[in-house]
Every structure is written in structure tokens, then in C-alpha cells.
Amino acid sequence: MTKLRNIAIIAHVDHGKTTLVDAMFRQSGTFRENQAVAERAMDSNELERERGITILAKCTSILWNDVRFNIVDTPGHADFGGEVERILSMVDGVLLLVDAAEGPMPQTKFVMMKALKQGLRPIVVLNKADRPDARADEVLNAVFDLFVALEATDEQLDFPVIYASAKEGWAIKAPGDEKESLTPLFRIIAEHVAPPKGDVNAPFSMLVTTLEADPYLGRILTGRVTSGAAQVNMPVKTLNHKGEIIEQSRLTKILAFRGLKREAVDRVEAGDIVAVAGLEKSTVADTICALEVNTPIPALPIDPPTLVMTFSINDSPLAGREGAKVTSRVIRDRLLREAESNVAIQIHETADRDAFEVAGRGELQLGVLIETMRREGYELSISRPRVVYQTDPKTNERLEPMEEVQIDVDDEFTGVVVEKMGTRKGEMKDMRPSSGGKTRIVFIAPARGLIGYLGEFLTDTRGTGVMSRLFHGYAPHKGAIEKRRNGVLISNGSGKAVAYALNNLEERGVLFINPGDEVYEGMIIGENSRENDLEVNPLKAKQLSNVRAAGKDEAIRLTPPRIMTLEQAMSYIGDDERVEVTPTAIRLRKAMLDPNARKRESRKQED
């Protein structure tokens, strides 16, 4: 009989999780030698490939000798921490990957805290041990210190260590061993991780941890079988966390993970990680079980969202020209589907039937949702992100979310980073030399002060700085934070922008549009060089005469405009501004397009 081990691979972003799984696939024989497989095979989502990060947790399975490893590749970015928390309830062990040069980073701390709390015993893999700046001994000591700080038990502190290079495909138990293959890693997983527990003779039950839609099978629910066995067409019911029955149905399909594929099987037993189809209403954190079971499997509470944005219909003059899905009903249905499968996102309806409050973990997570919807053909109007406040029940004091910010920068940029973090109410907690001649600075800062800072940080450090953020907790409100920017240039008419007009506007500030772009009244076309907003005419053409010929326009040379990404646009706008998102364009605009309405509103604010 095949032995079973369920493990998750956890780490900070870009420490090599997905690359390691690729190497394990190749060396276990999951891929043929000559098989064409995409690099980072587990990052199957289009956005994951573009950004080089893992967004969705994914399950796979590898057969080595007579042991089957069910492996879950988890996201490393803090914004997708909700994925990590759910996945850890499915496994019996974790591989903690740490970069042998960078050492433990904020997300390493986050994922490890969750794993230790579940009582999991980690295997520490010091990856990228082939790097010339690797400092394995120092990093190992730092990992041990982190475990102690997170109050690991004596059993958890007695962790095995593997030195590896996922890229080169080798793992060794001690420096100096021969670097041949990943066999030492496979062996230590088989020895150190406990086989899954579960009574095969008890009634069937499984906790749903992920949900996805399949065009052929419908809703697919993935989870670990906690007890008993399940067969195709078996009658089951679903219980929510309160023990209430959600639905009764049959398992029309049971899928087991075999390499990168899911294969239909007739029967699964306790301990296996499987996907099932045939249930219409069941969702994440529900218990699918035999008809005689009445007690749900306890599910872990998920950390609450810290950022909220307003998603509303696109009501600009260009609405409906570029996207097919524009009504509030289709936007609402899409957002509710997202909240169903992504437990870290919450959707609330507002008094305005055309707008919805969407709360999540961070700008990246919300940005990925908007970008996904945009590619699916939706048109949206997006507000600036706002933090989610809480109230202290004892003192009635207003509390705001705080983040631990770890920054690695070259020495010459430390001054500007400390100054900028100071203006954002960041409090320095630590400053010390780091690997590669950099300085590592740790701050505790309000989440609202960090909105939009990443782009500025990369400019200040000339792209060499590395910033990692981690939710720290709630603390008393830190007071007003300086507003960031100059005023904006607002179009006072509708039509196509003219090169002659833009040439004259360049002295006013930085432009965001090209000649020929469609503009409308109230659209933001640039940043003013002064603090006030300024209404301008980007449509003004040259008055032609016998002396002033149209051909002279060809000599105009405009400075290339500043084209913003979605995340940059989200963090750039003010409270009275919006981002118009369509499948083909990202535009900035005022919430109120009519200049008279804007003036009336500003007078109300002053009163």
C-alpha cells in the first residue's frame, strides 16, 4: 500500500517555493525527461506568471519510491495570507524555505507563526545555498531565534535542516556533502512528517478549504478527508460552522491529485487531500459529511481585512465602450463569487445600489481582484483605499491597523527612507547591517500612511530597495498624516487630446495622456506643478491662417507622459477622485465630473 504524507511549502515571497516544487516534479519522475513543461509549473494563473508571484494556493501530488507526497504550494505575499491559513489545516507538516542569503523576512515570521500555532513541526530548508553571498550558519541562527520569539515548543525547536538549491536541483543534510539530487529532502520528509491520522471506519467528513469553478464540473471543493471514506454517488450533507444543514446532495465526482493533474477516482479515505463536485451551496469552512454526522469540523478564524475600497459602476461619458460587463448586477454577482472562494475578502452593499464596499488584506490583493475583473471584461469605478478602523471596547478609543515594515536599502538611501517613514508616522524599531552591504531597518507604521508609498520608495532608492510589510495589530490612532502631492490638471472638455494643446500644458506639470487619447470633462490628465487643482483645455487646436500652417505641428516633441499601473493609480488618487478601470484603459477622474458640483461640494466641506 502507498504511504501518504501531507505537507505545505511556506516561505517569504521569492524564496523559491514554486521552483523547488518544479525540481521535485522532475526528480520524482512526475515529468518525463523530454516533456515540455512551463517554468514554475505551479504558477498556472496568468497574473501569477506576469508578476512572478504565487497568488492562489495549489495542491499537487508526487510519488517517490512507495510514498505519495500531497504538496500544497502556498502564496508568500502577506496580502494572500488568508490562503496560507486555510491550507495549513489540511497538512501534517511544513517545509519552511528560507533564502540562505536574505534570511528570515516578515512573511517568514507570519507563515511560521500560523504553522506553529497549529502544532506543526517544520523542516527548515535553507534554499539558494549556492549563492555567492549565502551565509547559511547566520541564517540558521536567525531562524532558531525566530522560532524562540514565536514561542515554539521544544519539539518544534528540534527541527531538521536541509541545505538546498532548488534551481540546481540538489539538497544536502550538511555542508560538504555531495550535491547530487533532492533525495535527502524526499527522505527527510518521509521520516519526519507524520502520516495522516483519521479513522477510516468512522463516518465520512471533510473540511472545505478552497473553492473554484470548473466549466465542465461546476463548483469544485477541495479539502482533506478527516474521517471515514467517500465513494462516487455517495449521499452527503453539508454543515456550516454552527452545525446547520446547508444542503444535501451526492458526490458526482471525486478527484485526487496526481502530479499537476486531477484524476477521477472511485474512492478516497481519511488523510487524503481531494476535490469533490456535485454540491451547489457549500463553501469554504463548511463540513461535507455522511448523513449521520451532526457535528461540524472546527475551522480556524481568519484575520480580519485591514483595507476597504468602493467598487461602483463606471458612470463616465466613455462607459460601455470598452467593456461588456458594466451593470451593478453583474459586478455584484462577480464580487459575491469572489468572496465565496476567497475568505480574506468581504463584500458589503452600500446605500447606493450601484456601489459596493470591498474589504481585503492589502493593496496588492485588491489590485489583483480588480485586474482579474478587468481582464474578464468588467468596467469599474474604484475609490482610494481606506483603512478599516476598530474601537477599543474598554476605552472607546479609535484604533487603526499597524504594519511591521522591514526595509533593506543601500547605506546612501537610509536617510531619505527614515525621513519619509517619519512623515508617515512610522516608528523605527531596529536598524542593523544586512547581507549584500545593505542596511535593514524595521518600522511599525500605520497602514494608511503606507498606501501609495511603494512607488515613491522605489524611486527614492533607485529601484534597489526591498520593502516587506506584515500586519502587526491595532493601535491608537496616530493623528493626521501629511497629504502627499500637488494638485491635478483636469480636462474642461470632451474629445481627443491635441498635441498643440498638450505642448502648451507641459509647463503646467506632468501629463498622463498622449495626443489622440479620448478625454472628457472632469478627467484627470496630469499633475499640476502647484498645490491647487487646475482646469485646462487639452483640445485646443492651433488657429490656422496663411502664415501659420497645420504642417508645423509635426515639429512638436512632447515629453513621454507618466503612465500609471493600476496599483499606482489606486494609491495616487485623492478622496474626491476615482480610477476608471476598463479592459483597455486605466483613467483617473474626479468623482464629480461637473465643475460646478465640485465647487458646491468644496464649499460644503469648508462650512
Annotated binding site for GTP: 14-19
Contacts of 345 (CB under 8 A, 6+ apart): 82, 305, 338, 339, 358, 359, 360, 365, 369
SS3 assignment, position 262: strand
Question: Which has the closest alpha carbon to 176: 137, 141, 133?
Answer: 137
- Phi/psi region, residue 461 (left: phi>0; alpha: psi -120 to 50; beta: rest), is alpha
Separation CA 321–CA 126 (nearest Å) = 52
Amino acid symbol at 453: Y
Are 150 and 144 in contact by the 8 Å Cβ rule? The answer is no
User: 346: which 3 cell numbers?
Assistant: 468581504
Amino acid symbol at 147: F
Separation CA 382–CA 369 (nearest Å) = 12
Separation CA 5–CA 93 (nearest Å) = 8
Q: Torsion angle, CA of 224/230/234/237, rounded to 10 degrees? A: -40
Separation CA 75–CA 57 (nearest Å) = 6
User: 27: which 3 cell numbers?
Assistant: 526528480
Separation CA 62–CA 182 (nearest Å) = 13
User: 81: which 3 cell numbers?
Assistant: 495570507
Q: b/e map of 492-514 (b: 16 or more CB within 10 Å)?
A: beeeebbbbbbbbbeeebebbbe
Q: Tell me the binding residues.
A: 14-19
Q: Torsion angle, CA of 382/538/518/583, rounded to 10 degrees? A: -30
User: 530: which 3 cell numbers?
Assistant: 502647484
Using only C-alpha atoms, the chain has a radius of gyration, in whole angstroms, of 27
Strand spans (E) along 134-202 = 161-165, 170-172
